[in-house]
Chain A
């Protein structure tokens, strides 16, 4: 079997992770966009199904900082939280498990 035929149709096969199907294999980040509108437009144009987000403590004294869920609909993009804001392995595990109730509801 040639390499070419072995790869045929791979682009159309959904990516399945944890029983969930993703039509696109492209996973994009959500940092460094000029505006939130640019971010959403770029994500939509890319066809991605999954984006990474950072987990942070809410800054209670500076409540102007908006969470990204104001702009991204978890029904439209699967959100993959990273643990960049965590300083210990224990925090990382806690915050990662904390993500599921938020991301699987609605």
Chain B
């Protein structure tokens, strides 16, 4: 039985399954881990940390990427 937890992603509260890793969170948004930068509670994560880093209740997550411009 999977419970859900509330996290703050890109400025919005969202309910996600508990026990989700960062990789799992990206999959739930259909995002390619190679193309996204993840900041968890104001710390940038190395991509190698994604699978082993668990999302917890109340986490602040920022997902950014690169777009044309500049």
Seen from chain A, the residues whose Cβ lies within 8 Å of a Cβ on chain B are 29-33, 36, 39, 52-58, 60, 63, 65, 67-70, 79-82, 84, 94-95, 97-99, 101-102, 105-106
Contacts and interface: CB of A to CB of B under 8 A. Distances in A.
A59 to B, nearest CB: 8
A58 B11 CA distance: 11
Interface of B: 9-12, 29-31, 34-37, 39, 42, 44-47, 62-70
15 contacts: A30-B68, A33-B68, A39-B68, A54-B70, A55-B37, A55-B64, A58-B31, A58-B65, A60-B10, A60-B12, A68-B66, A69-B66, A94-B44, A98-B44, A102-B37
The 10 closest A-B pairs by CB, nearest first: A52-B70, A54-B69, A67-B65, A31-B69, A82-B70, A30-B68, A53-B66, A58-B63, A98-B44, A98-B37
